[in-house]
Structures are given as C-alpha cells and as structure tokens.
Amino acid sequence: MQNQGAVTAITAKRLTLALAAAGAIGGAVGAIAVNHNNAVAASAAAAAAPSTYVAPAPLAAPGTQVSMALPDFTQIVSRMGPAVVNIRVMSGTKTAFKGRAQQREPQFDEDDPFFEFFRRFQGPQNPRGQRDRPVFGAGSGFIVSPDGVILTNAHVVRDAEEVTVKLQDRREYRAKVLGSDPKTDVAVLKIDAKNLPVVPIGKSSDLKVGEWVLAIGSPFGLESTVTAGVVSAKGRSLQDDNSVPFIQTDVAVNPGNSGGPLFNTRGEVVGINSQIYSQTGGYQGLSFAIPIDVAYRIKEQLVATGTVKHAKLGVTVQEVNQGFADSFNLASPEGALVSSVERGGPADKAGLKSGDVIRKLNGQPIVASVDLPAMLSTSKPGEKVTMDVWRDGKIVQVGAKLGDASEKAAPEERVETASAGAGSKLGLALRPLQPIERRQSGLASGLLIEDADGAAANAGVQPGDVLLSVNGRPVNTIDQVREVVGKSNKSVALLIQRGSDKIFIPVRIG
C-alpha cells in the first residue's frame, strides 16, 4: 500500500487476497486460494429455449405472511453446462530436491573398489541431487463462439507452455492463447473445433444488488460444479486492483473456479469469476467477478490484435473523507481528490490541478475515489470525457481527451522557489528547502517540515515531509500557510511530498 492517505483501493485488514489459479495435482488441493472462474455453455438452439425464472413476489402489506419461491437453476445448468470447460496448464519446470540427495555423498576415484558399488546404489542423479518438475495449474473457462474461442482469466494461463481444454463430453483439445491482459485479468484461448455449444452474453450493467446469480466451474478439479448466491454489491475496487469494477457475490468459488462464468437467472453470462477475500485460502463468503461488459471489450481487442490498449487520465487520486470535505467546503465526503497530475498528460492538458475533487465523470456520480479508475476501465484511448470538478468552492466542468496508458509519463512538474519559515498553529516547524535538499528531492520549492506535533502529528504528518500546498493552494512561505489556515474553521488539507509520493493529509484545527 502507499503511504497514509494515498488510498485508491479497498483495504481489508487481516484479510489476504490470493490471486492464484491453484490446481489440484495428485490430491494436493491445499493451495493458497484464489481467483476463481467457471465456464458455461449452450448450443445456439438451446440458448433460444426459455429458461425457468421465478419472478419475485410483490411486497406485501405489513403483518401479511409472504410465501416466496426460490429460482430453479436446473434448466440453466442443463443448457449452459456443455459450454463450460476445464482448463489444465503446464507452465514450465521448477527445481526440486530429491529426498536426501542434497546431502554430500562420499567421493571416490574411479579406480577405487568402492566406486562402482556406490554408483549403483545411488542411481543416476544430477551433480547437486536436484531434478526438474513441471508446474501444473487448473482453472475454468467458457466457450463464446462455435469455432472454439474461450474466455478465462489471465492468471490461469500465466507463463503457460501448454494449455489443455477439456469439454463436458470429455473431449480434450490443445489450446492456443490468443492473448491475455493482466491488468483486467482476462485471457482468450482458441481450440481447433467446430459447432461447439456457446453461452449467451448478457449485460453486467443491468445487474441489481440482491439478484440471484449462478456459477459453474471446476473447484479443486471437481468438474461441472454448480454454486449459487446473490449479487452482494457492484463496482467494487480491490486492494492493488482498482482498474476493474468488480461484481461482489456470495457465490461459493474456490481454486479451480478461476475463469468460469457467472450467470444471471436468464442464463446469460454477466461476469467471469476471478477473486476472493480469504483468511484461510478457501471461500469465506466474499467472491468477485469481472463484469462481462469489461471482459468482452478486452476479448474483442485480444482476438483482433492480441494486445489491449487502456485509457488513462493521468492523475493520482485518493479518498475524500470527512476531514477533506470540511477542508474543501464540500457538503458530503464524496468524490476523487486529485493529489497529483501527470505532467503533459490528458488531465494536465485539460487543466486539472492538485486539490481538485472530481465529483462526476460523464454524468455518473463518483462517490469513492476508486469509482474513477473503474469507470475509466471501459474507455479507450482517444475518447473524450467530461468531469464535474469541485474547485475553490464551486463546480466547474472540465473536458479531457483520454491518453494511452502504455505511454511513458513525463517528469513531474514542481512548484517554484520557497522562502523563510517559522512555526504555525498546526503544530508544524517549517523552513525552506536548502539547495542540496532540493537537488536530492527533485523539488524546486517547498517548506520542509522539521517537526510535527499536536494536530499535525495526530493526523500522520512526519518530520522530513515537504509541505507543497494547503487546501489545494501552493504555499511557498509561512505567511501563506497562516493566511490559508486562518480562513479555515474545522480542518485543512495538506499536500505532502513524502519520498516519491504526493499525498493529501487532513488536519483538524478545531
């Protein structure tokens, strides 16, 4: 994680996010779990057949007894099951010690009478008592075209040297990896087959929280396993993975489910099962799927070119908490706070600044900072976006043309020269940077924080930080700091340079 305040992903204390394809090899199923995927299929004719769906009963008046039937998934399983595939991967070799062979054995000359005896007893070994073993993994996938195009997770086929796809009718095919995108964890495979059953593709954007969903896959190598649950939340961004607006469900998924489909009650694929939160390595009620709207956009690029281009805005954002809301006079702690802007990037060209709070993107509200990269994940380089930005106490509209995330960022611009300093009621001892400090830090200006106590220390400000701005306004002198702080009633937002990171820290002054 980044330093304090620089948070752009959901953090779960004491929870371990395991992203492993995890295979059950020779009964060894105790793997760190897990990204999970399942595959589901259906013939074109079968896909047209109606599925069984029990509509929810209308809400009854208070005090009235309600009888509600659960959905019947049997028709979905029978029609879509044939398009779910099991994926086995061999990804090179690893060196393993062979028992006690790593111990140093007696050494004899070839003329020694004991030489032949010990040679026969020990058997053939390499000089260090090691041997190479292939590394195996397993996952799931689903067929999306009759000529053998299959969707799965990128982590399932990572570093794969050989990929085998097994259909529900027990036929097996060698598969070619057409391309994979680690950023969104989507991969596309191709097998040499015709007239295969396929799954219908739905719209993940139409999903509603509380809606029933179904997964089919091969957890722990148990093929065609069916599990069901409900949509727990939408638009989730995970720790170290905020480029995908995940669908959170309580569907049971485990190692081997990775890459498999998530169905709605109409039998349409709405996601690819990918990850879980777990303390044990196994399922604990929190599973996450890649929305099919995102996955299919990636699939089209991979099939066409074998590569994927991602859009970028060129900003670093962090969460808006109550302290920031008070500092910037926001009515509610919502939006994405811009902590830094890439020099020469799309945001810089559009006029975005550190301290801006992005409240909407293309008319869609941004509640948490992680909403911004999730929304951008469905965009392409060159697209134009419109943002509602809170700046200086009012909303301004900013338009930007998205860039290519593969383009290298230019060196970051720095503010101008600093001047003398003293203390402030924030509990900070400040002074301008010395020439040698500016050279070492790469900063042209700033106020070095020599000491921090009171409110500033409680907020996490540390000696050695460099103060760049207060409430979004650059400060080069102590008088400027006092002026901005004097106009604030509850808290101020300090933009701090700490190492190579820029972070906002809210400090309560009331």
Just list the catalytic residues: 155, 185, 258
Distance of CA 18 to the CA centre of its chain: 12
Question: In whole angstroms, what is the distance from residue 220 CA to residue 204 CA?
Answer: 27
> Tokens 């009964």 map to which residue?
27
Contact predicate 467/484, CB 8 Å: no
- Name the amino acid, one letter, at 238: L
Tell which residue, 387, 337, 394, has the closest CA to residue 361.
387
Question: In whole angstroms, what is the distance from residue 321 CA to residue 327 CA?
Answer: 10
Question: In whole angstroms, what is the distance from residue 294 CA to residue 481 CA?
Answer: 45
Tell which residue, 180, 185, 238, 171, has the closest CA to residue 1.
238
Q: What are phi and psi of 494, to 5 degrees?
A: -95, 125
SS3 (DSSP) at 300: helix
Contact predicate 248/233, CB 8 Å: yes
DSSP code at position 488:
-
Question: In whole angstroms, what is the distance from residue 19 CA to residue 10 CA?
Answer: 16
- Count of alpha carbons within 13 Å of 411, Cβ hemisphere only? 4
Question: In whole angstroms, what is the distance from residue 391 CA to residue 341 CA?
Answer: 15
Contact predicate 321/353, CB 8 Å: no
Question: In whole angstroms, what is the distance from residue 226 CA to residue 5 CA?
Answer: 41
- Count of alpha carbons within 13 Å of 275, Cβ hemisphere only? 25
Question: In whole angstroms, what is the distance from residue 38 CA to residue 195 CA?
Answer: 21
Residues 6+ apart with CB under 8 A from 172: 164, 165, 166
What is the DSSP code string of 155-222?
GGGTT-SEEEEE-TTS-EEEEEEEEEETTTTEEEEEES-SS---PPB--GGG--TT-EEEEEE-GGG-
Question: In whole angstroms, what is the distance from residue 373 CA to residue 379 CA?
Answer: 10
Distance of CA 483 to the CA centre of its chain: 41
Question: In whole angstroms, what is the distance from residue 450 CA to residue 429 CA?
Answer: 5
Q: What are phi and psi of 189, to 5 degrees?
A: -115, 160
Q: How far apart are the first and last CA of the chain?
A: 30
